[in-house]
Chains A and B, each alone.
Chain A
Amino acid sequence: MKKNAFAVLGITAAVALLAGCNSAVPAGGSGSGSGSGTEIEILSNFTSDVTRGKVLDELIKQFNSEHKGDYTVVSKAQPDWPTLQQQIRSSISAGSAPDVFLYNYNPTDLSREKSGALMDWSSALEDDADWKARFKQDNLDALTIDGQLIGIPGDQAPTLFYYNKDLFKKAGIDAFPATWDEYLADAQKLKDSGVGAISLMTADDSWHTMNAFSYLATAEGGADVYAPGSDLDNPAIVKAADYTKRLLALSTPDAVGGNYAASSSNFLNGQSASIIDGPWLISSIQSTVKDACSIGVAAAPTFDNGEIDPGYTVTDSLNVWGAAKQTDKKKEAAVVAWMKFFTSNDSAVKMAVEGEYPMAVQTELSDADKEKASCQMAEVLDISNAAPAAIVQMARGITTDAQAQLPSLLESLALGQTTPEQFATKLQAANAQ
């Protein structure tokens, strides 16, 4: 009798759980602020210990004092990008999407955009033509899904070579190489001089390694070589895998298995001579490297085969500011007000100059602003403005399944367990699932 009761109880709860899955769980954690009006939380990787985090904190302070009594913005920051992305995914799955959050847009994985948990920005932008004009139409089109604009373009950071001029000189290298074959020859010299030639890592999203890989693949096969929908089991990917394997061998000993923190720490502490990373690295260079301007910036080499014009850039995914769909109109207004403020020209200039963080909005730097920019930032802006093409990094555009398998695939490549040919085949298989 009682046993039956428990069984019924258990099954009822199970059914409730199953049923709950359909309508995707309870409405999000809406904790309206108390005395200070409506409170919204911003989830990003802008922690207070890096310059863009400091700028964000200042901007929030300014915004909060301008809207005293109405809106309060609070920054919640998570320094580790892959962890941040996981948290955002699980919050959306949990039905409690953060108020405002920075995430990486992936055209082959629109699960977040199609979850129904994100706010539609289209009417807010339509109502304010000036604001809308600040964004590239391409970006807005990419973010319009089923007629809804599901986010505000945040940034699309160019990844470039940062290299340690002192270490290059010590190894007898005078200029940054123009082709990948020259680069490999120089890398050997660097390795012989006792440092890793390039900072690479394979954990999490294999970021630094996949930057190199993307440059190699596009240099061999052109801008569309891994465009969404193309067959990755092709000769350019095989060649990129082959060169990546050689680079991994010339990297620091902890490259296989290392994560972003270890890899960038190696570069900043002079244990490796170069790294391919986004402009956020500048903040760490400025605070860690003694003679900060001894770190040069360069566009990646090519194969000099005419497939692509030298000087092009591989970029991070378009990072997007998404927001939770709000039932509370006041909260929605607060989110829109904050985003308008954050993407204004003044904020964008401040972010670029003081925060080392170029945003994906029109940013008009005055000459005085340019003077203030750090040595690397000035170079980054020059290179990316002159770039003949900008291609999104490969790992940002593959399926989550393939992303989850990347560390394992790269590690077996580095360890000689799979050949470059097998790597391409396996990657394609994972991406097709």
Chain B
Amino acid sequence: MSIIGKSFRWVVLGVFTLITLLPLLWLVASSFKTQADIFANPFGLPSEWRFDNYAAALDAHPLYLYLRNSIGAAVLATVVIVLASLMASYALLHRFRLSRATFGFLLFGILLPVNALMTPIFFLVNMMGLYNSVLGLGLVYAGLFFPLGFLIVKTYMDTTPAEIFEAARIDGAGFNSVFVRIAAPLASPGAITAAIFLMITAFNELLFAAILTKDTEAQTIQVGVRYFLTTYSANYPLAFAATVIGMAPTVVIYIILSDRIVAAMTAGSLK
């Protein structure tokens, strides 16, 4: 391989790695500075490490409550979608009139720009009495993200050889027990992949969280971090610290599970 070609490759990798990491590192470093330090010394490490920026950020707005709400809505949506997807995928293994149409109906949302639906969903949630509740937000996420989770789960379940089900049925297992004992467990890798994907997606959502909630009862961390820029007087170090806090949960999970997450995306690629 030519020297030029080789160095070009390293330049490409280097540039993109820099673009990805440099702003993040700068953000973390700045989150430990004083306001004056941020202006006077934009690069480099803090001249004095202000760990209390984090304590002050947690004090200024109830970030723990926001995190709790985010996780609550994300878990609720994930559980609902995964269960509904497993059941629906199993049901669709059985052919019936309109099974194609049903499959299409369950998936049509994947092509919708769902933001276009924010106004009707706002009123729908109000009518159901679920405005400003984690339950309402979680259910909306469950509805909006269902097609994505369903597609993942169904793809896995469809790879289960039909003979396994036949064998179970010959052994006398009924409709329900085939699902509980065979179909669902065999699709669990797909379910887990979907769950990881859904958790992250729901946790990171902003628009619907912003329009469907009004206070700490239900507001999520994505809504909450913005308050650091919209209060009486902008306190930049706290805003930096809050941004880091908002990123931390998913980044930590990614550090632990990065192989699982990236592998999940590459796993079934052999088509």
Contacts and interface: CB of A to CB of B under 8 A. Distances in A.
A and B touching (Cβ–Cβ under 8 A)? yes
B123 interface: yes
Contacts of B214: 87, 90-91
A79 B35 contact: no
A49 B131 contact: no
Given A17-B120, A26-B127, A90-B122, A288 B101 contact: no
Interface in A255-304: 259-262, 264-265, 268-269, 280, 284, 288
Nearest to A88: B214
Given A17-B120, A96-B132, A265 B233 contact: yes
Contacts of B102: 2
Nearest to A91: B214
Tell me the interface secondary structure of chain A in the complex: helix
A269 B231 CA distance: 15
A20 B127 contact: yes
B226 to A, nearest CB: 9
B232 A284 contact: yes
Contacts, number: 83
A102 to B, nearest CB: 14
Interface in B183-237: 211, 214-216, 227, 229-236
A431 to B, nearest CB: 24
A26 B128 CA distance: 8
B227 A80 contact: yes
Given A87-B214, A90-B211, A265 B235 contact: yes
Interface string A88-121: 0011011110000000000000000000000000
B247 interface: no
Nearest to A280: B232
A15 interface: no
B127 to A, nearest CB: 5
Given A76-B215, A259-B229, A94 B131 contact: yes
A329 interface: no
Of A21, A83, A280, which is in contact with the most chain B CB atoms at under 10 Å from its CB?
A: A83
Contact of A284 (B60, B98, B101, B233): B233
Interface range for B: 20 to 34
Given A17-B120, A94-B131, A80 B230 contact: yes
Nearest to A84: B214
B232 A264 contact: yes
Interface in B107-130: 120, 122-124, 126-127, 129
A94 B215 contact: no
A29 B131 CA distance: 9
B234 A265 contact: yes
A95 B126 contact: yes
A25 B230 contact: no
Contact of B232 (A43, A79, A96): A79
Contacts of B132: 29, 91, 96
B203 to A, nearest CB: 22
A124 to B, nearest CB: 26
A20 B127 CA distance: 7
A96 B130 CA distance: 10
B92 to A, nearest CB: 13
Given A2-B98, A3-B98, A76-B215, A25 B233 contact: no
B171 to A, nearest CB: 31
Contacts of A43: 215
Interface in A24-82: 25-26, 29, 43, 47, 49-50, 76, 78-80
A379 B102 CA distance: 72
Contact of B233 (A2, A90, A268): A268
Contact of A78 (B126, B129, B215, B236): B215
B126 A261 contact: no
Contact of B230 (A79, A91, A288): A79
Contact of A80 (B101, B129, B131, B231): B231
A370 to B, nearest CB: 25
A16 B83 CA distance: 28
Nearest to A2: B98
A8 B211 CA distance: 29
Of B102, B131, B231, which is in contact with the most chain A CB atoms at under 10 Å from its CB?
A: B231
A261 B230 CA distance: 5
A140 B127 CA distance: 34
A50 B215 contact: no
Nearest to B120: A17
A261 B236 CA distance: 10
A20 B120 CA distance: 12
B127 A262 contact: no
20 contacts: A1-B98, A2-B102, A17-B127, A25-B123, A25-B126, A26-B126, A49-B60, A50-B232, A80-B230, A83-B230, A90-B214, A94-B122, A96-B126, A259-B230, A260-B230, A261-B234, A262-B234, A264-B232, A268-B233, A288-B233
Interface of A: 1-3, 6, 16-17, 20-21, 25-26, 29, 43, 47, 49-50, 76, 78-80, 83, 87, 90-91, 93-96, 259-262, 264-265, 268-269, 280, 284, 288
